[in-house]
């Protein structure tokens, strides 16, 4: 399966077109009241795990602000967007002159989403703010996510944040705010979102119509960790089956273990396996870290050191393989062999 529409997962709703948000009522209330007070911050850092609704919240708030450009006259509640309203239609079509969505661009040559937000993308923000709004409305930039800014792009954004234009607003999204430039974080008001609760996950997945086999539902929801994106990857990209094979590999030995290793390598090196591969390598890192932590807590410092070192070696191995475009199947087999050795 492909991750098309500029990175949108199969089965997902584009945040700009998503009319519902579940589990973040307190955050919405804070944004609405802060804006209405007229004392809202010009840059808000919306942080939290991937796939929990940060971008949807950002677009809902942007819709709210653009529909109510005078803070004192804005309602204290952010309502579900009206898809028939001119603001909603302009945002959904990408035709709004008052909102700029900065994300990883699509490479015109390959058709793939690039690995970073470049300084050329950030320059669009400078041009965006240099334009005079015919309506005198707000100008809003959504950076989605700021984690993807390369060094030059991050520095370029910082310059704009330091001297923001009048009636300008930045909604800066981040899965891992600790990795952002400290100077960017210091110029933003942090708004932390948490993993979705089980009821909110049920609502969100129900809206998407995601069909999870009854016998796998409990395992999928546990592995999803309150993230709709993780649930989509588990179900629509085969990640649940790959993780099940990984657990079986850890428990097996001899030829049976070898068969599971090849099964995993085949699944992760097949056509359109990028999403599953990324999910698996993230899970692998978590597995090694948790194993090391568990051993340390149990007093096995030698075992903990082994897994911590193994995690570092595997990260380096995966990085080299990506940099030199090495055969993925062989790389995965080498990584799995190092784990079971």
Q: Quote the pLDDT of residue 341.
A: 86
Q: Report the pLDDT value the prediction gives residue 308, as an integer from 0 to 100.
A: 96
pLDDT in tens, 206-235: 999 998 989 999 999 999 999 999 999 999
pLDDT given at position 134 = 54
Sequence length of the chain is 341
pLDDT at 4: 37
CA distances (Å), origin 332, targets 41, 144, 228, 319, 337: 46, 30, 27, 12, 8
Model pLDDT for residues 141-160, shown as the tens digit of each residue: 999 999 999 999 999 999 99
The pLDDT value recorded for residue 135 is: 61
The pLDDT, as a whole number, for residue 229 is 97
- Residues lower than pLDDT 50 in the chain: 1-4
- In sequence order, the 6+-apart residues with CB closer than 8 A to the CB of 168 are 42, 129, 138, 139, 140, 141
Decide: 114 and 105 in contact? Cβ < 8 Å. Answer: yes
- For residues 159 and 326, what is the distance between their CA atoms, to the nearest angstrom? 38
Query: Residue 200: its pLDDT value, please?
Result: 97
> In the structure encoding, which two tokens stand for residue 139, read together?
């100008």
């Amino acid at each position: 399966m492909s991750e098309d529409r500029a990175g949108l997962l199969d089965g997902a709703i584009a945040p700009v077109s998503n009319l519902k948000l579940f589990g973040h009522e307190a955050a919405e209330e804070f944004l609405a009241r802060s804006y209405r007070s007229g004392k809202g911050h010009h840059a808000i850092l919306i942080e939290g795990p991937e796939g929990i609704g940060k971008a949807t919240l950002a677009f809902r708030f942007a819709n709210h602000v653009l529909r109510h450009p005078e803070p004192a006259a804005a309602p204290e509640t952010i309502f579900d967007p009206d898809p028939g309203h001119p603001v909603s239609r302009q945002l959904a079509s990408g035709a709004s002159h008052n909102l700029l969505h900065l994300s990883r661009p699509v490479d015109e040559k390959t058709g793939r989403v690039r690995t970073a937000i470049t300084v050329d993308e950030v320059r669009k923000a400078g041009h965006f703010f240099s334009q005079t709004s015919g309506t005198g409305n707000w100008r809003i930039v959504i950076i989605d996510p700021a984690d993807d800014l390369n060094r030059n792009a991050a520095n370029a954004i910082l310059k704009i944040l330091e001297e923001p234009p009048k009636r300008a607003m930045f909604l800066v999204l981040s899965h891992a705010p600790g990795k952002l430039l400290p100077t960017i974080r210091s110029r933003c008001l942090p708004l932390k979102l948490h993993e979705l609760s089980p009821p909110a996950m049920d609502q969100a997945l129900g809206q998407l119509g995601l069909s999870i086999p009854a016998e796998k539902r409990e395992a999928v929801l546990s592995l999803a960790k309150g993230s709709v994106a993780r649930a989509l990857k588990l179900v629509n990209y085969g990640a649940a089956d790959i993780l099940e094979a990984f657990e079986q590999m850890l428990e097996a030995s001899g030829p049976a273990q070898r068969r599971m290793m090849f099964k995993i390598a085949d699944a992760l090196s097949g056509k359109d396996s990028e999403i599953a591969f990324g999910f698996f390598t993230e899970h692998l890192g978590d597995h090694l870290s948790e194993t090391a932590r568990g051993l340390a807590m149990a007093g096995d410092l030698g075992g903990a050191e082994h897994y911590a070192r193994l995690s570092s070696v595997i990260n380096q191995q995966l990085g080299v393989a990506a940099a030199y475009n090495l055969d993925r199947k062989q790389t995965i087999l080498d990584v799995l062999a190092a784990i079971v050795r």
